[in-house]
Structure 1
Amino acid sequence: MGTYARNPVEFVRGDGTRLWDSDGQEYLDFLAGVSVVQIGHCHPALVEAVTEQARRLMHVGNLFYTEPAMRLAARLSEASLGGKVFLCNSGAEAVECALKLARRHRPGGEFVVAEQGFHGRTMGALSATSQEAKQAPFAPLVPGFTAVPREDPGALAAAVSDRTAAVLLEPIQGESGIHPLSDELLHAARESCDRHGALLVFDEIQCGMGRTGDLWAWQGPGVRPDVMTLAKGLGGGLPIGACVTTAEHADTLGPGDHGSTFAGGPVIAAGANAVLEVVDDPALLTSVGEHGLRLIEGLRGLDLPARGRGLMLAFETDDAPGVARRLLLEQRLVVHATGPDTIRLLPPLTVSAAEVDEALRRIAAAVGRC
């Protein structure tokens, strides 16, 4: 189906931060499959874990236990909120789980979300995605969602009431162009949820898994959610999602409330365990912060307004789609235009300082700042 506007490039091989197309041309990847290839293409630890597990057991379903899934759930819980984990196949599925959990917590409850947020394209997740162009063709949507301006803590606090099941936010909005929500707004969300007994749900699908220099984006501002959703970088290129709770809300969903045929399969879970082993490393997370600072300062040195945290960055430029196309086809640098004036940069977390500098040189050439 023609649901994607693809670029005229066919990639056939990847290694670390590099890609090669079908003509043998080499590219520097500063998109990582949209924050998916967290530890670089074909990382040896990930390849080994998946290969070894595929030789032993690939699928039995969730009527039984498998060690990789149980180990992954325990590690995610221990590294984050301390509750239980529902494993699934994508970010949208993780959000759907969080929405159902919130409705179990407060039956019939409503949701508060931020304008320009993005939470997925399934009907519940789409209803939480306050972007008219994405929602309008598929109306009527799931009712009960109220969107507030992303820069207005007062409006968010006023929108939360005793009828609210959950406030759902991305600590850093990704698809709308890398917009970190203010610490003030995140704290207002926490305080409002506590006041009214609602759940605070953070969508860390794009901004989690070390992307900001902390393992989880909420650790920077110090605002702990009740539930968080993960995907993308958790699998390092394999399809996975997770909905993680605090201990207080671990048993909100019970048998029969939710499910998935393929969720937590042994091969995918083995791969995610390997990714988590690489990412949950203080030295790597420190380097994410350092390389992110090097990149954002380099962009500003080119007189390109830049924003973001860690290696989740964006810069402003005229005709961003045209710049992204020139970077791809002329400079062999993979990036993404999120709108008419914004280029998004999401390199693998394993990127080197030399590769950051090389990307800056290619960006300078594409925007005429050499």
Structure 2
Amino acid sequence: MSYLFPTYAKKEIELTQGNGATLFSKDGSRYLDFMSGIAVTNLGHGHPGVIQALHKQADLLWHGSNLFHYEAQEAAAKLLVENSVCDVVFFCNSGTEANEAAIKLARKSTGKSHIISMNQSFHGRTLGSMAATGQSSIHAGYGPMLASFSYGSFNQIETVKDAITEDTAAVMVEVIQGEGGVHVMTQSFADELQELCKEKQLLLIIDEVQTGMGRTGKWFGYEHVALDPDIITVAKGLGNGFPVGAMLAKDHLREAFHLGSHGSTFGGNPLAMAVSSAVMNQLNEPGFLEKSEATATFLMNQLKDVTQTSSIVKEVRGQGFLIGVETTVEASILIKACEEKGLLLLPAGVNVIRFLPPITIEKEECNQAVSIFQAAIRECTEALN
């Protein structure tokens, strides 16, 4: 019997150690990690610069509360601002908390309560972020959702227009629907959405929890489609495994979060700030993101090459190191086959497999992963025939 709630479908693997893109289990097995803790360990496991920053801060101060000033908070916030279109930052502990903060800021700053998000989106599991999530399976069993959300269809601007009311405060959207099947925002939808928000004076909230911190080859996914958001949320890769999240906003929203209007006991604690700054400084290393983006393109092309004639692969899509492979069979079948061969992958719905390696992955490791995936496809195809 476990002392834990059965909220996760846990694998029969106990992880004990990680190094770069490799994970080791208690029984001595070795795995190529193309999950990255669900797009979290962007810099890989055991990154020396991140470890050094954490060790240094751990010897100084862990926590003192947000009633005091910390230079490390200002330094981390400055890095986020300098590398985004925003001007001010609120630190928290997770992506769902960042999205809750974004929802609250949009409502408080506009005096309106209605927010439009997208079908098949995913924004978190607290009551507000769950209501923003356009998936009925996430809502099931929790009674009425927060009533002030409605859903458009991703990449279909008319559905967003139809959802606007006099009480609409904002549109909340991912640039790539990760949990929703790895669907990438089109340039035309981005342009139309930006113009619509400007015309109707709606705030544009971009959820970068999964796409931020170099995952797509740039600091933020919105850069690929030249959006100009009012609010951005980040987490996951920001701490490379250390719990941290952030909500960024334009300066015109600064005063809406005045003294006492929002808070987080652990948000922006010195340990999280030291780690986050180390991660962001790595992203800013000359040529780092360019190399990562080139390797991601290599992986995408390799996957397309080995699956183009497969009868069970419909499409390979994505951006950077957020890649989805849509199949005609259940994703879990191929994921299990790859796991048995030493490659860890994730689903994105019933029929989509996500490839989310560390953004520091090397081409040779990509080749290893593709070879394992190709073997799993071959075995599955033979079994079906």
TM range (shorter): over 0.9
Correspondence for 2:318: 308
Q: Residue 347 of structure 1 corresponds to which residue in structure 2?
A: 357
Q: Please state how far the C-alpha of 1:155 moved relative to its aligned partner.
A: 1.6
In 2, are the aligned partners of 1:18 and 1:28 still within 8 Å (CA)? yes
1:86 and 2:90 correspond: yes
**1:112 pairs with 107, 112, 116, which one?**
116
Could you say which residue in structure 2 is the equivalent of 1:335?
345
For 1:121 and 1:348, locate their aligned partners in 2 and report how far apart those are by CA, in whole Å. 25
User: Is 1:321 aligned to residue 332 of structure 2?
Assistant: yes
Distance in 2 (CA, whole Å) between partners of 1:67 and 1:271 is 14
Cα-Cα RMSD: 1.3
Identity %: 35
Amino acid at match of 1:308: G
Any conservation in 2 of the 1:157–1:189 contact (CA below 8 Å)? Answer: no
**Aligned equivalent of 2:310:** none
Offset at residue 282 of structure 1 (A): 4.7
- Residues 162-196 of structure 1: CA distance to partner in whole angstroms, max 9, x if unpaired? 42111000010111121112122222221121112
Aligned counterpart, 1:56: 60
Query: What is the SS of the residue equivalent to 1:69?
Result: helix
Residues 76, 276 of structure 2: 8 Å contact kept: yes
Distance in 1 between residues matched to 2:286 and 2:256, nearest whole Å? 33
2:144 to 129, 137, 140: 140
Matched-pair contact (CA < 8 Å) for 1:215–1:280: no
1:9 aligns to what SS in structure 2? coil
Question: CA deviation digits over 1:248-274, x for unaligned, max 9?
Answer: 222221111100100000011100110
The aligned counterpart of 1:159 is: 163
- Native 8 Å contact 1:62 1:261 kept in 2: yes
Work out whether residues 86 and 231 of structure 2, in 8 Å CA contact, stay in contact via their aligned partners in 1.
Answer: no
C-alpha offsets along residues 227-253 of structure 1, whole Å, 9 cap, x if unaligned? 000000000000010000112222221
SS of structure 2 residue aligned to 1:138: coil
**Which amino acid letter does the alignment assign opposite residue 105 of structure 1?**
S
- TM alignment of 1:195-274, pairs within 5 A: 195-274=199-278
Q: Look up the SS of the partner of 2:348 in the other structure.
A: strand
Aligned to 1:97: 101
1:228 is aligned with what amino acid? Answer: I
Output the CA distance in 2 between the equivalents of 1:163 and 1:193: 14
Asked whether 1:72 is paired with 2:82, we answer no
Task: Give distance in 1, aligned partners of 2:86 and 2:194.
Answer: 18
1:170 to 149, 169, 174: 174
Distance 1:211 1:282, change over 3 A: farther
Is 1:131 aligned to residue 129 of structure 2? no
Shift of 1:302: 1.6
Distance in 1, Cα, partners of 2:86 & 2:212: 16
CA distance, structure 2, for counterparts of residue 186 and residue 105 of structure 1? 24
Residue-by-residue CA offset, 1:124-160 (whole Å, 9 max, x unaligned): 0000001011112112111111101113112213323
The CA distance in 2 between the partners of 1:159 and 1:280, in whole Å, is: 39
Aligned residues: 369
1:187 corresponds in structure 2 to: 191
* Contact kept in structure 1, 2:239 and 2:276, CA below 8 Å: yes
Query: 1:210·1:280 contact (CA, 8 Å) conserved in 2?
Result: no
Deviation at 1:27, TM superposition (A): 0.8
Structure 1: distance between partners of 2:123 and 2:14: 28
Distance 1:150 1:271 in 2: 34
The one of 347, 366, 369 aligned to 1:356: 366
CA contact (8 A) 1:127 1:141 kept: yes
Pairing 1:283–2:287 present: yes
Structure 1 stretches of 4+ with a deviation exceeding 6 A read none
List alignment gaps of at least 5 residues for structure 1: none
- Shifted more, 43-52 versus 193-202: the winner is 193-202
2: CA distance, partners of 1:257 / 1:276: 28
| Equivalent AA in structure 2 for residue 123 of structure 1 | L
Contact 2:179 2:349 in 1 (8 A): no
Structure 1 SS opposite 2:87: strand
Q: CA offset at residue 281 of structure 1? A: 3.3
Query: TM-score of the superposition, structure 2-length normalised?
Result: 0.93
- 1:69 Cα deviation after fit: 1.4
174-183 or 153-162, which deviates more: 153-162
Query: How far did residue 66 of structure 1 move?
Result: 1.3
Instruction: Say whether 1:27 aligns with 2:31.
Output: yes
